[in-house]
Structure 1
């Protein structure tokens, strides 16, 4: 009974994250809010010399301090880290919820990955329709990386926990 309730809690958490992601993509976001917050916290611009060495392409956008400014550069990484973590959590919750309901190890991991990566692709498509953001395959790959790592971590922790009991 307790295992069933825990499994249901994981699944509810996954659905709530999906609702959050849908809500976040539906409305125009203030992409400059994080850099403004960072500007207030990091007025001395620590590590700017180190960050100035990095320039790369993300989709069709050049990512560098010269192109985005110091706080835009940090804001870019903050938003990508948040995306990675939210899809990590989404896949982990799907895996945890499904592993509590299914006996084999392969099905929950496969379904959790498919649900998470499919939702990331659908979310990017949805963003392209309703917000000024562009749908980017790089964001789906980033979300998929978070999902893969989450399923590996979930399998490890759930298997290790079962092995100790």
Structure 2
């Protein structure tokens, strides 16, 4: 009974995360709202010399301090870290909820991964209709990597917990 309640709690948490991600993508928002917060804390712009050496493309956008400014550059990484963590948590919650309901070891891994990556793709598709958010396949890949790593971590935690019992 307690295992069933724990599984249900994980699944409810996953649905809440999905609701949050939908809500966040639904409304127009400043794509780099994070830099305003960072600007108040990092007025001296530490490590700007190191960051200036990095220039790359992410989708159609050039990512560099020259193109985005110091705080835009940090904001880009902040938003991608937040994306990665959000989908990591989502996948971990799906895995935790499904592993308590399914006897097989492999099925919860596959289902949690499919749910998380499918939702990332659906979220990016949804963002294509909402301006100024950008739909990018790179974000789906980043979310998928976060989901895979979270499921691997969840699997190790589950194995370690079973080993202690």
Where does 1:56-71 land on structure 2 (aligned, <5 Å)? 56-71=56-71
Structure 2 unaligned segments of length 5 or more: list them.
Answer: none
Report the equivalent of 2:94.
Answer: 94
Residues 109-148 of structure 1 mapped to structure 2, 5 A cutoff: 109-148=109-148
Pairwise CA RMSD of aligned residues?
0.6
User: Structure 1 unaligned runs (5+)?
Assistant: none
Q: Which moved more, 1:32-41 or 1:15-24?
A: 32-41
Paired with 2:140 and 2:100, the residues of 1 have a C-alpha distance of 27
> How far does residue 32 in structure 1 lie from its aligned partner after superposition?
3.1
Off by >2 Å, runs of 4+ in structure 1:
none
Equivalent position of 1:155 in the other structure: 155
- 1:5 matched to which residue of 2? 5
- The equivalent of 2:20 in structure 1 is 20
Query: In the aligned structure 1, how far is the partner of 2:32 from the partner of 2:141?
Result: 24
TM-score, length of structure 1 as denominator length? 0.98
Secondary structure of residue in 2 paired with 1:130 = coil
* Number of residue-to-residue matches in the alignment: 165
1: CA distance, partners of 2:133 / 2:30: 11
SS in 2 for 1:129: coil
